[in-house]
Structure 1
Amino acid sequence: MKRRQFLAGTTAGLAVGAAGCVDSFTSLDGVSYGREPELVADRPAAIYYPTHTEEMAMGGMAQTDDGLAVSLAYTFPHRFWRVFKREGRYEAEQFSVDGDDAIHIMANIWDAETGVVLPVSSVDIAARGGNNVDERETVYPMLSQRMGFHYGDNYHLDGDDTYTVNVTVGATTATRFGGFEGRFDKPQTVTINLDYSEAARNELAYETYEDRQGDPGALSPMRMEMNGMAMPTGSVRDLGGTQLGTGRADDIRYAAAVLTDDRFGDAPYLAVTAATRYNELVVPSMGLAGTLTDSNGETVVESTSLEPSLDPELGFHYGAVVPGATGEETATIDVTTPPQVARHEGYETAFFETPTVELD
Structure 2
Amino acid sequence: MNRRRFLAAAGVSGTVGLAGCLDALGFGRQSSPYAPPLVEDRPDAVYYPTHVEGMKSFGTATDGPYKCALTYSYPHRFWLLTSNPDDPTNKVGIRSEDSMHVMPVVWHEETGVVPPAANPSVEFALADGDESVPSVSPWPMLSQPMGVHFGDNVALPRNGDYTATVRVAFGSTKRTGALADAPDAAEFAFEFTYLAERVDTIAYRTLDDAGERGAVEPMQMDVPVNQLAPPAELPGSLVGTGTSGDADVAVVVADDAARFGGRESERYLAVSPRTPYNRFPLPLASVSATATTGGETVHDGPLTATLDPELGYHYGAPVADAPDEVAVSFDAPPQVARHEGYETAFLDMPTVSV
* TM-score over 0.5 (shorter chain): yes
Structure 1 counterpart of 2:248, from 250, 253, 272: 253
User: Structure 1 residues 161 and 28, CA, compared in 2 at 3 Å: closer, same or farther?
Assistant: closer
Q: Aligned residue for 2:332?
A: 337
For residue 66 of structure 2, the aligned residue among 68, 90, 98 is 68
Say whether the 8 Å CA contact 2:244–2:349 is kept in structure 1.
no
1:90 to partner: Cα distance:
6.0
Matched, 1:224 2:221: yes
| 1:286–1:340 Cα contact (<8 Å) kept | yes
Kindly indicate whether residue 168 of structure 2 is the aligned counterpart of residue 169 of structure 1: yes
Do structure 1's residue 310 and structure 2's residue 307 form an aligned pair? Answer: yes
Which residue in the other structure is 2:350 paired with?
Answer: 355
In the TM superposition, what is the alpha-carbon distance from 1:32 to its structure 2 partner? 5.4
Cα deviations by residue, 1:285-313 (Å, 9 ceiling, x for unpaired): 11111111123x332322x2111111122
Is the counterpart of residue 120 in structure 1 residue 117 in structure 2? yes
Change (3 A) 1:83 1:24: farther
Residue 33 to residue 173, structure 1, CA distance change in 2 (3 Å) = farther
Query: Relative to 1, partners in 2 of residues 1:175 and 1:169: Cα closer, same or farther, differing over 3 Å?
Result: same
* TM-score calculated relative to the size of structure 2: 0.88
Greater RCO structure (CA 8 Å; 6+ sep): 1
Q: Measure how far apart 1:24 and its partner are.
A: 7.2
| 1:248 to partner: Cα distance | 1.4
> Could you tell me how far 1:141 is from its partner in structure 2?
0.3
Residue in structure 1 matched with residue 227 of structure 2 by the alignment: 235
Paired residue secondary structure (1:263): helix
Change (3 A) 1:102 1:22: closer
Report the 3-state secondary structure (helix = DSSP H, G, I; strand = E; otherwise coil) of the residue aligned with 1:137. Answer: coil
Letter of the 1:72 counterpart: L
Tell me the secondary structure at the aligned position of residue 85 of structure 1.
Answer: coil
User: What does residue 195 of structure 1 align with?
Assistant: 193
- Please tell me whether the aligned partners of residues 298 and 323 of structure 2 are also in contact (alpha carbons under 8 angstroms): no
Distance 2:155 2:29 in 1: 18
Q: What is the aligned length?
A: 335
Written as runs of structure 1 = structure 2, the 5 A alignment for 1:176-191 is 176-185=175-184, 187-191=185-189
Q: What is the one-letter code of the residue matched to 1:6?
A: A
Moved over 6 A (4+): 21-24, 26-29
Moved more, 175-184 or 343-352: 175-184
SS in 1 for 2:197: helix
1:3-54 residue CA offsets vs partner (Å, 9 max, x unmatched): 343359xxx9xxxxxxxx9997469773453521111121111100000112
Aligned to 2:34: 35
Change in Cα spacing, 1:318 to 1:184, as seen in structure 2 (3 Å) is: farther
Shift in Å at residue 284 of structure 1?
0.8
Residue 52 and residue 24 in structure 1: after superposition, are their counterparts in 2 closer, same or farther (change >3 A)? farther
For structure 2, the residue ranges without an aligned partner over 5 or more in a row are: 13-17
Q: Is the 8 A contact 2:66 2:108 kept in 1?
A: yes
Equivalent pair of 2:55/2:73 in contact (CA under 8 Å)? yes
Larger displacement relative to structure 2 (102-111 or 169-178): 169-178
Structure 1 alignment gaps of length 5 or more: 13-20, 226-230
Residue pair 2:48, 2:213 contacting (<8 A) in 1 also? yes
User: What letter corresponds to residue 191 of structure 2 in structure 1?
Assistant: N
Give the TM-score taking structure 1 as reference length: 0.86
The one-letter code sitting in structure 2 at the alignment partner of 1:173 is S
Query: Is this contact kept in 2: 1:57–1:74, CA < 8 A?
Result: yes
Partners of 1:188 and 1:42 lie apart in 2 by 43
Q: Describe the SS at the equivalent of 2:290.
A: strand
1:84 maps to amino acid? T
Counterpart amino acid of 2:304?
E
- Corresponding residue for residue 205 of structure 1: 203
Shift of residue 168, structure 1, vs aligned partner:
0.3
Distance 1:119 1:23, change over 3 A: farther
CA–CA distance in structure 2, aligned partners of residues 99 and 200 of structure 1: 18
Structure 1 counterpart of 2:50, one-letter code: T
Please identify which structure carries the higher strand content. 1
Give the direction of change, closer, same or farther, for the CA distance of 1:282–1:177 in structure 2 (3 Å limit): same
Query: AA paired with 1:205?
Result: A
Query: 2:312 matched to 1:320?
Result: no
User: Match of 2:15?
Assistant: none
In the alignment, is the contact (CA less than 8 A) between 1:34 and 1:77 conserved in 2?
no
Q: Deviations over 1:302-337 (max 9, x none)?
A: 2x2111111122221111122x22x25211111111
